[in-house]
Chain A
Amino acid sequence: MTWLIHILNGLAFGMLLFLLAAGLSLIYGLMRILNLTHGSFYLVGGYIGLTVMQFTGSFVLALIAAVVVVALIGAVIERFFLRRFHLDELPQTLVTFGFLFIFSDLSLWIWGGNPLMLNVPHIFQGSVPMGYYSYPYYRLFLIAVGFVVAGGLWWFQERTRLGTMLRAGVDDAEIARALGINVSLLFTLVFAAGAALAAFAGVLAGPVLSLYPGADFEVLIFAFVVVVVGGLGSLRGALAGALLVGIIDDFGKAFFPQFALFTVFVPMAVILVMRPTGLFGRQ
């Protein structure tokens, strides 16, 4: 039975990672940008959700507020700071790193250094009995949300025109524009969407993991690991990688607490060495 608990924990954590990795991968797949600010989107989103929930008591409002605000921030960053460095990786790295620092300090300033947690929304309070144990509804909800989002993103990618454009991985902006695609708008929308997913994850994570200074860096590293294992630019890869990492991390913490992080990085290194583009990445 403990195995099941561990797997469920791994899945729940994995789903949060998936939300982050999906955004990161989406942004990379289209724009070839490794967005270091992604961790900030998660943390700031979580903090905003926390504040909104403190004022309104509504989890739904918290989610909406976080997603909208962070998406706007993302759009602004893309439009005014990243657009001009299209395909120029070094300035992109420096500027996204700069924003990571900026948001890290600002959120410390505004929300302080103590770890904060959101309250589990009413409907999901309580747990379902499983043998000797009981498993929190909220975590099951997380797993469900993850699958729904994954399904939604998959549908979007495979079945809509916009999704096809994304899959084509606008490798040549000139050709894309010639085909009538508003590349600039697409870039901004995708970046904002990625940021929104991260913020969404931040609020959802609020009740299970806490929000604290430094969580942005930690979560960014995990997201990187997932995206790298799954394959840059691949949605399937983000899901596979996230669930794999989530489960490995949980088992690692449970059985090798001293080496917990090692258990995540070694499979990552091994996979990468065998397949440098990750499990599902493009060659």
Chain B
Amino acid sequence: MTARLWSIAGAAAVLVLLVALPAFLREYSIALATKMLIFALFAMSLDLLLGYTGLASLGHAAYFGVAAYTVALLVVRAGVSSGLAFPAALAAAAVTGAVFAPLALRARGSYFLMITFALSQVVWSVAFGWRTLTNGDDGMPNVVRPNFGFSLDNTAAFYYFTLAVVGVATVLLVAIVRSPFGRALRGIRESESRMRALGFDVWRYQYVAFVLSAAFAGVAGALYAYYNRFVGPEYLYVIQSAEALIMVILGGAGTLIGPAVGAGVIVFLEDFISSLTQHWVLVLGVIYVLVTLFAPRGLIGLVNDARRRWSAK
């Protein structure tokens, strides 16, 4: 079988597994799987910007959190129907991205990292400090899940909803990175000056990538708001941005599937290890160090190396 057929078969197998999951897992695990899917999307959204366009952002939680807060504010404060809040949240995240992009794109490299960090911290401090609007540190509970004729309060039902949304988003992301636009992003990542010499308006491509990336992060953020039925400033905090970055790096930047796997692994490990020992943070730290040493291109890098050695035989 050709490599392409293997990929399709693999994707199909994963899809079947994901759909069949709730049948043989208990409720707690289904909820965990839902969380893994949400963060897989969050990580993939960052990968579009970091892995494909070459822009490392330490402020991605801003779009994640803005979407979540949009859901919470509309549903809890304005009484908007939860289902309608979803597209509004997506739009809010995209608009935030559109506003922040020109500011952040004044810099590259470490400075870009810093500006994105700064901008997201401003958003965080607004959410944290504006108690009358957001309840500040206490956060906003009572975020109702959407009702499309059937309730999503059931864990399995919400899992399927999340799977559908994340599935559609993933298909879109794959289409984007495989398109000529995606190829141009990679070219920009490799050499901005070369791309300009070839006639590309590099800034415009980076801008669009930024906004798309923010929009997808927003989808994840809205889903997370529904998942927890609660939104708090931690959604916006730099730790959340750093976690996303770690998920991408651990999984393997620039592959989409790597960050998805990285996110799944980290969410799973956080849960699993904390049930075994109170020193789960220590264990995670050790794992990160070990992965860096033995899989510097991420987990997917390991898989790719193994595949190359296999086909070289």
Contact = CB atoms under 8 A, between A and B. Distances in A.
Contacts of B249: 90-91, 93-94
B149 interface: no
B118 A90 contact: no
Contact of B110 (A34, A217, A258): A34
Contacts of A97: 242, 246, 285, 288
Interface stretch (A116-124, A150-158, A196-204, A264-272): A264-272
B167 interface: no
A262 B110 contact: no
Given A28-B110, A34-B113, A232-B111, A95 B292 contact: yes
A42 interface: no
B281 A104 contact: yes
B152 interface: no
A100 interface: yes
Interface in B51-96: 56
Interface residues of B, number: 43
A81 B296 CA distance: 11
A169 to B, nearest CB: 13
B286 A102 contact: yes
B292 A91 contact: yes
B285 A105 contact: yes
Contacts of A101: 281-282, 284-285, 288
Interface in B18-56: 56
Nearest to B252: A90
A222 B250 CA distance: 26
A38 to B, nearest CB: 14
In terms of DSSP, what is the predominant structure of the interface of chain A? helix
A101 B292 CA distance: 14
Contacts of A115: none
Contact of B289 (A32, A81, A217, A272): A81
A98 interface: yes
Interface residues of A, number: 46
A221 interface: yes
Interface string B117-135: 1110110111011010000
Contacts of B112: 276
Contact of A276 (B107, B253, B291, B292): B107
Given A85-B296, A261-B129, A277-B111, A95 B121 contact: no
Contact of B250 (A94, A217, A258, A264): A94
B238 interface: yes
A183 B145 CA distance: 58
B293 interface: yes
B114 interface: yes
A104 B286 CA distance: 12
B303 interface: no
A99 interface: yes
A89 interface: yes
Contacts of B296: 85, 88, 91
Nearest to A257: B129
30 contacts: A34-B113, A81-B292, A85-B296, A88-B296, A90-B249, A91-B249, A91-B296, A94-B288, A95-B289, A99-B285, A101-B282, A102-B282, A104-B285, A106-B282, A109-B279, A221-B121, A224-B114, A224-B117, A225-B121, A232-B114, A258-B136, A261-B121, A261-B128, A261-B129, A269-B103, A269-B115, A269-B118, A269-B119, A276-B107, A276-B112
